[in-house]
Amino acid sequence: MTEPTSLTPRASRDAPKTLQKGQQTRAVILEAALNLASHMGLEGLSIGALADVTRMSKSGVFAHFGSREELQISVIREYHVKFEEEVFHPAMRVARGLPRLRALFDRWVKRVSVELDSGCIYISGAVEFDDRPGPVRDALVEMVAAWQVALTKAIALAVSEGHLREDTDPQQMLFEVHGLILALHHDARFLRTPGSLERVRVSFERVVSYYATPAGLALPTTNSSPQPARPKRG
């Protein structure tokens, strides 16, 4: 099975990496826009608000993005790059199989914990654009789908390594794991429920214990949470 080397779509990865004239200014604007979107949502972004924050003219900001829609899409891509750097790449250096799957989840949880005072653009964006077809929604879907493909492949590799049962349905396990992150974001950010981070880690190990083989259960975990007993099937 071919392992992904990046979450970012190839078209975006092929863009020149060297900052050319004007790109440094664009990068500064984009960083400010990402901060605004994290707190106000993608719909809270506007050329005017960004001009105020960066102390630039509206025409100056507009020259770098051309439209509010392009600004929103650029923010989504920038968020995705940061997510990739903080979650995906470090986890890919961990041994394939269940250790890597645990690393992906652990770093994902850490990312969510950092965002509790701001917000996850993937989650808030889904609420804002779930029923609004168009380029912004398409960009969100593309980035989230890329992350889910990476997780699905990590689950499939854990099966091939003998850490998860052969009858494991990667899509079903992905659904359960993704649901844990949504519950964490809801309880920790919205309800401010104490202990949410500890609960999500325990819940993840319960999911793992259901699908794991004896060899998988024997592997060390990446945190101090106790492994619950494997539930009986049926």
State the CATH number of the domain containing residue 149: 1.10.357.10
Position 185: which residue type?
A: H
In a domain, 2, yes or no: no
In a domain, 34, yes or no: no
pLDDT band of residue 232 (cuts 50, 70, 90) is very low
pLDDT single digits (tens) 140-184:
999 999 999 999 999 999 999 999 999 999 999 999 999 999 999
pLDDT single digits (tens) 87-127:
999 999 999 999 999 999 999 999 999 888 888 999 999 99
pLDDT at position 23: 82
Q: How far is C-alpha 185 from the geometric centre of its chain's CA atoms?
A: 12
In a domain, 177, yes or no: yes
pLDDT at position 231: 45
In a domain, 25, yes or no: no
In a domain, 141, yes or no: yes
Does 229 have pLDDT greater than 60?
no
pTM (global) more than 0.75: yes
Residues near 134 by beta carbon (within 8 Å), at least 6 away in sequence = 69
* Coil, helix or strand at residue 17: coil
In a domain, 109, yes or no: yes
pLDDT single digits (tens) 192-201:
999 999 999 9
Residue 224: CB atoms within 10 A of its CB come to: 7
What is residue 192's DSSP assignment? Answer: -
Q: What would the DSSP string read from start to end of 28-45?
A: HHHHHHHHHHHHH-GGG-
Q: How many domains does the chain have?
A: 1
User: Do 71 and 53 contact (CB within 8 A), yes or no?
Assistant: no
pLDDT single digits (tens) 22-79:
788 888 999 999 999 988 899 989 888 899 999 998 888 888 888 999 999 999 999 9
Residues near 67 by beta carbon (within 8 Å), at least 6 away in sequence = none
List the domain range (segments joined by +) for residue 141: 68-217
111: tokens are 């990312």
In a domain, 167, yes or no: yes
| Burial letters 83-94, b for 16+ CB under 10 A, else e | bbeebbeebbeb
Residues of the chain with pLDDT > 90: what percent?
68
In a domain, 50, yes or no: no
6-10, 20-24, 54-58, 205-209: the lowest-pLDDT one: 6-10
